[in-house]
Amino acid sequence: MGFFSEIRSALNEIFAEFSQDVQFRGKKYKCIIGENGQQEVELESGGFVPNETFTVKFKEADLEDEAYPAIGELLQYSGRTFRIHWISTRSKRGQIEVWVRSIDK
């Protein structure tokens, strides 16, 4: 087994063990939610709007039949809605990583 095949195999095991449900484009995906997020308040609006950012990692194989996520698209996680504001441009690595930011409802 080649190096990248081993990495993809390990990635499948990680997704099976640690993934959480994310709603995106009307479908449920199993994604890895990053623990390195930030929570703060948006000071430009007087400090009353929560501003939260974190990463969401999609398994690339789950997106094969669809376009990759795009900046500005919305997803739902843990009962809240978030907007994608950054996307990893590295494809064919087994996962697609996006940074999301909370939106004011």
What's the CA angle centered on 24, arms 22 and 29, to 5 degrees? 45
pLDDT digits (tens, 9 = 90+) for 11-62: 788 888 888 999 999 999 999 998 766 656 556 656 555 667 899 999 888 8
Sorted by sequence, the CB contacts under 8 Å of residue 6 that are 6+ apart come out as none
Nearest Cα to 22, choosing from 62, 65, 67, 52? 62
Instruction: Give the pLDDT confidence score for residue 84 in this predicted structure.
Output: 96
DSSP 93: S
Residue with tokens 């995906």: 29
- The pLDDT value given to residue 71: 96
pTM: 0.78
pLDDT tens digits, one per residue of 60-102: 888 888 888 999 999 999 999 999 999 987 777 788 999 999 8
**DSSP per residue, 25-45:** TTEEEEEEEPS--EEEEEGGG
Q: Are 85 and 75 in contact (CB under 8 A)?
A: no
Write out the two tokens for 86.
């950054």
User: Can you give the pLDDT at residue 53?
Assistant: 85
